[in-house]
A and B are shown apart, each in its own frame.
Chain A
Amino acid sequence: MMTTEISRSALTLRPDFATIAAWIRPGSSVLDLGCGDGTLLHYLKGKLDTRGYGVEIDADNILACMKNGINVIQNDLEAGLSGFEDASFDYVILSQTLQAMKNTEYIIREILRVGKEGIVSFPNFGYWKNRMQVVRGHMPVSPSLPYQWYDTPNVHLCTLHDFEQLCQQHQINILERRVMNNDGKVTFFPNLFGILAFYRFSHAQRS
């Protein structure tokens, strides 16, 4: 069966999914922005009995979601989440897509309008190997930033500090942060040694 194949591959292919899953209450409602083929939602549905929808713009991904039996809504995230009611989801997830958004502030506002909480993950530009490449005079290219400067979809890369500053400016409460490298969780100088950053946050007035 396709079902079991997906749930098995979810953890091996995308270790970040386990981090996100750990923050989600069983039975809650989830909106996954840029949901790809729906693997995360499928995993959450199977493991935590969540319900919800994925949002995608790519035709192949929409078809993949359909094949995986995942609710998917075609929508351009740059245009916001106008089809979704205020506070209609427990969590709105934006997994490794923030850095590729043009309207970064707008989508974060939209996440907190539609979701009671937001969860984002992004590659940490402040990772020391990225910094070393910049010091050597090059734009960083690495497994977490696999693109050349001329073909990257990433237009708004940031460090942990940068993101936290944005949250402060927009009255966003960071509820939880997790920083990962290839060996697991990073607590020692995370802005230097972390490759991937995860944040769970809510609007300051709501929390």
Chain B
Amino acid sequence: MQESDSIGIVSARRAHFDTPLSLKSGAVLDGYELVYETYGELNADRSNAILVCHALSGNHHVAGVYADNPKNTGWWNNMIGPGKPIDTRKFFVIGINNLGGCHGSTGPISINDKTGKRYGPDFPLITTSDWARTYVRFADQFGIDQFAAVIGGSLGGMSAMQLTLDAPERVRHAIVVAASARLTAQNIAFNDVARQAILTDPDFHGGDYYSHGTHPRRGLRLARMLGHITYLSDDSMASKFGRELRNGSLAFNYDVEFQIESYLHHQGDKFADLFDANTYLLMTKALDYFDPSQEYDGNLSAAFARAQADFLVLSFSSDWRFSPERSREIVRALLDNKLNVSYAEIPSSYGHDSFLMQDDYYHQLVRAYMNNIAI
């Protein structure tokens, strides 16, 4: 058996980009910073780089722990490390906090050099295409001509796909997990409710809550609670919480009674303390706008005609937010273009969140695929 261990102590670094970035929205960022982490060693040929794209609320801290905070484990620590499915003894793994994020990369909470104040509502909307361009520039800075693979789940899977379309020659493999080629109306609707919760919070102040010394905590909390429900499955909620009461009997009031309420409130509170509301809004819009088929009259196969990478597409049986059918649409487009692609639907009861879970079959599939990537 291979030894499988955590990558251990990691630290975040910062990359500066001084060339102006023209965004899809028409706005221009004169310069920006990306905070990132890397694990493993970049080989002499610079051919073993893996880019991990994060989802809605993720960041650059993908694996390992911080020396000053050993409890803060990276969000995909079970997948990435020495001897793990994405093996840092073979690969040089890069996690980047996306532009617009709130964990150190330039985003709405950053100080705008032109005004000396936080960007707030003035920060432009960012799309997956904009991110793809920042990934390419990031690779340029490292002298990486081509990523061995780009990998992501959910919004991260969409960002990964976008890179294969916008910079086909820069990606050899793409692993797209629990993603979608475009959000359905239902999915956009969920995002809208989340946004409305934030936008209508009296503490939002048109996005300039920083200068009012507030944070739309209630809105962000509700947004996260709603999101969280959609990331779990009916079955997993039923088995974890059922109708269990916190205090054993009904209290006939509106306090927290059911365990599921307690759990959701806790999740909402925790998130509202750690995340920036403007970034949440921005990320949900990036999700909604992602649709490579748009420029091709809705023809996804035509959109993927420019892709060159080999693909592994994975979905989870109980994921209803990004259902297996959405992944099959991606696979169909790849098949139509005769690209190398493998697809598996992993049996799981954990809903959309399955992509973050430790699951033997899931991890074996990723390990097998990664093992066959030539570097």
Q: Chain A: residues with CB nearer than 8 A to chain B?
A: 29, 51, 53, 59, 62-63, 65-67, 69-74, 83-85, 88
Contact = CB atoms under 8 A, between A and B. Distances in A.
The 5 residue pairs across chains A and B that have the minimum distance between CB atoms: A66-B368, A67-B368, A69-B372, A83-B332, A73-B343
Contact of B361 (A59, A67, A84): A59
B131 to A, nearest CB: 28
B331 A73 contact: yes
Interface of B: 312, 328, 331-332, 335-336, 338, 340-345, 347, 361, 364-365, 368-369, 371-372
A71 B173 CA distance: 13
Given A62-B365, A66-B365, A83-B332, A74 B338 contact: no
Nearest to A65: B342
A4 B347 CA distance: 32
A73 B335 contact: yes
Contact of A73 (B336, B342, B347, B364): B342
Nearest to A51: B338
Contacts of B331: 73, 83
23 contacts: A29-B338, A59-B361, A62-B344, A63-B365, A66-B312, A66-B365, A66-B372, A67-B372, A69-B372, A71-B340, A72-B342, A72-B343, A73-B331, A73-B341, A83-B328, A83-B331, A83-B332, A83-B335, A84-B335, A85-B335, A85-B336, A88-B335, A88-B336
A8 B331 CA distance: 32
A67 B371 CA distance: 8
Contacts of A63: 361, 364-365, 368
Contacts, number: 51
Contacts of B369: 66
Contacts of B312: 66
Nearest to A67: B368
Given A59-B361, A83-B335, A66 B328 contact: no
Contacts of B364: 63
Contacts of B347: 59
Contact of B343 (A51, A59, A70, A74): A74
Nearest to A56: B344
A67 B336 CA distance: 24
A74 B341 contact: no
Interface core residue of B344, B361, B364, B365 (most chain A CB under 10 Å): B344
A29 to B, nearest CB: 7
A83 B312 CA distance: 16
A83 B334 CA distance: 10
A176 B364 CA distance: 41
Contacts of A66: 312, 342, 344, 365, 368-369, 372
Nearest to A84: B335
A36 to B, nearest CB: 15
A62 B343 CA distance: 9
A85 to B, nearest CB: 6
B90 to A, nearest CB: 16
B363 to A, nearest CB: 11
Contact of A53 (B328, B332, B335, B371): B335
Contacts of B340: 71
B243 to A, nearest CB: 33
B180 to A, nearest CB: 16
A45 B158 CA distance: 31
Nearest to A52: B338
Nearest to A74: B344
Given A73-B343, A74-B344, A85-B335, 19 more contacts: A59-B347, A63-B365, A66-B312, A66-B342, A66-B344, A66-B372, A67-B371, A67-B372, A70-B342, A71-B341, A72-B343, A72-B344, A73-B335, A73-B341, A83-B331, A83-B332, A83-B335, A84-B335, A88-B338
Nearest to A60: B361
B291 to A, nearest CB: 20
Contacts of A88: 335-336, 338
